[in-house]
Amino acid sequence: MNDGFFQEQREQSLIKARIVSKYFSAWANVILATQKRYPQHPQKMAYIDLFAGPGRYDDQSKSTPLLVLETILANPDLTNRMVTLFNDKDTSNIESLKTAISQLGGIEELKYAPTFYNEEVGDKIAKMFSGMQIVPTFFFVDPWGYKGLSLNLVSSIIKDWGCDCVFFFNYNRVNMGVNNDVIRQHMASLFGNEQLDVVRQECRNKSPEEREIIVVQALCEALRNNGSHYVLPFRFKNDEGTRTSHHLIFLSKSFRGYDIMKEIMFKESSENIGGVASFEYNPRDVRFKQGSLFDMLSRPLDDLQGMLLQQYAGNTIDFNRLYEVHSVDKPYIRKNYKEVLIALLEDRKITAVNAKTCKPPRKGTFSDDMRITFGG
């Protein structure tokens, strides 16, 4: 049950909605630019929210559907291309959402009016998506618990070009359910039967922190094995900052999408030590902003420097290739790599020239066009 869930927008919900709407805006612009380059191809794209909710919280703050529609309405190119579909099995939620959407200024400008459904998300919807070719679509899947969320659903909605997904992973509920035989079927739909058995075995006699690492890593691995090349989790702590409540998990087949979302999650992280973000929102970090002595002395980019020197010793590689290969599943963004490479250049542990002009970088700069040679 999700009674009370939409009564008030807590800070965690605000951050979640902001991450999703920011990515939607960036994703839509990328798809739009591509479609304009190839006008002979279909000129549609879509936003689909499978657990849409009522549109507004009781305090009248906007939830994700309204934020996304405002982004669409602000861009005439999107109003002429974007199909929007909102689903919620709760009829009252859908009726409230319809009302909230109808009150948005300019909603009549949409070429394709929003469509609304009252379906329970499950195998039927997964089979429907798997049996059709989908236009470029951004999916938001935000179930209150875990029912309806499955590997089959995820693989069916990201299989086609331009299709990305963000889903809400209720870690607290799943953690309690992993060893519960009564709901094994639901857990197996998330991890796969074999992977679930491995998770159950590995979680025995582990601390809460160790259990979380095991569960989230297993889920990410299962998602990669079911069609998502790039998986990026963002963790949310409870109000006290003492334990994890849930994750937002981003899925894409495109490194560009992964890179864009990583930058967004970097900026929304509540903690940033030595230029490296936590990729989590912890209300405790927001309340106590003063850094500890450890924070001030910590140099996490030294770890990245050591990895690069070891992995690429004696090799020459273009910056973009290095970043795309090395940054996956690591907490570093493009800016971090450039900071490290500038330092290595100053220490003469690498050399670099612009692959287009054959000129070295200006002091303190490092462009995407650099070709790097690491010392042996």
The secondary structure of 100-164 as a DSSP string is HHHTSTTGGG-SS--EEE----SHHHHHHHHTSPPPSEEEEE--SSSTT--HHHHHHHSSSTT-E
DSSP 8-state code for residue 367 = -
pLDDT, tens digit only, all 376 positions of the chain:
344 444 444 788 889 999 999 999 999 999 999 999 999 999 999 999 999 999 987 778 888 999 999 999 999 999 999 999 999 999 999 999 999 999 999 999 999 999 999 999 988 999 999 999 999 999 999 886 778 889 999 999 999 999 999 999 999 899 999 999 999 999 999 999 999 999 999 999 999 999 999 999 999 999 999 999 999 999 999 988 899 999 999 999 999 999 999 999 999 999 988 899 999 999 888 765 544 444 444 578 999 999 999 999 999 999 999 999 999 999 999 999 999 999 999 999 999 999 999 999 999 999 999 999 999 7
Task: Give yes or no for a contact between 158 and 70, defined as CB atoms under 8 angstroms apart.
Answer: no
Q: Is the dihedral of CA 178, 180, 183, 185 positive or negative?
A: positive
Torsion of CA 282, 288, 290, 296, to 10 degrees: -30
Closest C-alpha to 22, from 188, 250, 175: 250
